[in-house]
Amino acid sequence: MSERTSTLNRRVKGWVGWSVLALVLVGLLTIGVTRDSGPATAQDRIDAISKRLACPTCDGESIYESRAPAAESIRQEIARRVSQGVENDDQIITAIDSVQPTSIVLTPKSSGFEALVWVMPIAVLVLAIAGLAVAFRRWRRQIESEPTDEDRELVAAALRSEYGPDGDGR
């Protein structure tokens, strides 16, 4: 087998492995994003919605954590809407958020422009890994390349300056 064929085989095997890894990663991320086990009971649903909304009078607390009167009132409204069973969680959050003077939604939506909050960290990670792979490949090619005549002359000049023209260190 020629050296060119061997190099081509290594490249193909390398790209196949990375491609399979990328496909598995995309598949797992897709499953993770689209899988919705959802709360099992009405109280679980109320808690899940309460965790997604900020207390309008507290600093840095969710409706779920806060015991302020405003948070208690919103929790009761959430419970009322959940017990009616007409709206889904996103509709309840939108309805409650719309009556507040400022937005109290803690987690961005997973669709539209706000989805970038979820996608950007993954995209940055993938680009960083790709950048490192390219850099490592370049470095490896530089290491594996044969020294040029210019490289040999630089080494010889350095040795002459260090050890003298006779090589005896004087």
Answer yes or no: is 118 within a domain.
Answer: yes
Whether residue 123 sits in one domain with residue 98: no
Whether residue 100 sits in one domain with residue 149: no
Among the three residues 107, 133, 149, which one is the final residue of a domain in this structure? 107
Share of the chain above pLDDT 70, in %: 84
Contact between 49 and 93 (Cβ < 8 Å): yes
Answer yes or no: is 159 within a domain.
Answer: yes
Q: How far apart are CA 118 and CA 127, in angstroms?
A: 15
In the chain, the number of structural domains is 2
Among the three residues 52, 82, 107, which one is the final residue of a domain in this structure? 107
Q: Which CATH number fits the domain that encloses residue 73?
A: 1.10.8.640
Among the three residues 107, 123, 144, which one is the final residue of a domain in this structure? 107
Q: How far apart are CA 45 and CA 69, in angstroms?
A: 21
Whether residue 126 sits in one domain with residue 99: no
Whether residue 95 sits in one domain with residue 66: yes
Instruction: Write down the pLDDT at residue 50.
Output: 94
Answer yes or no: is 120 within a domain.
Answer: yes
Answer yes or no: is 25 within a domain.
Answer: no
Three-state SS sequence of 74-116: HHHHHHHHHHHCCCCHHHHHHHHHHCCCCCCECCCCCCHHHHH
pLDDT at 58 over 90: no
Answer yes or no: is 3 within a domain.
Answer: no
Q: How far apart are CA 47 and CA 13, in angstroms?
A: 49
Q: What is the pLDDT of residues 143-163, one digit of tens each?
A: 777 788 888 899 999 998 888
Q: What is the pLDDT of residues 90-133, one digit of tens each?
A: 899 999 999 888 888 887 766 777 778 878 999 999 999 999 99
Domain of residue 163 covers 113-170
pTM beyond 0.75, yes or no: no
pLDDT-based confidence at residue 76 (cuts at 50, 70, 90): very high
Query: Could you tell me the two tokens for 15?
Result: 């790209």
Contact between 51 and 64 (Cβ < 8 Å): yes
Answer yes or no: is 51 within a domain.
Answer: yes
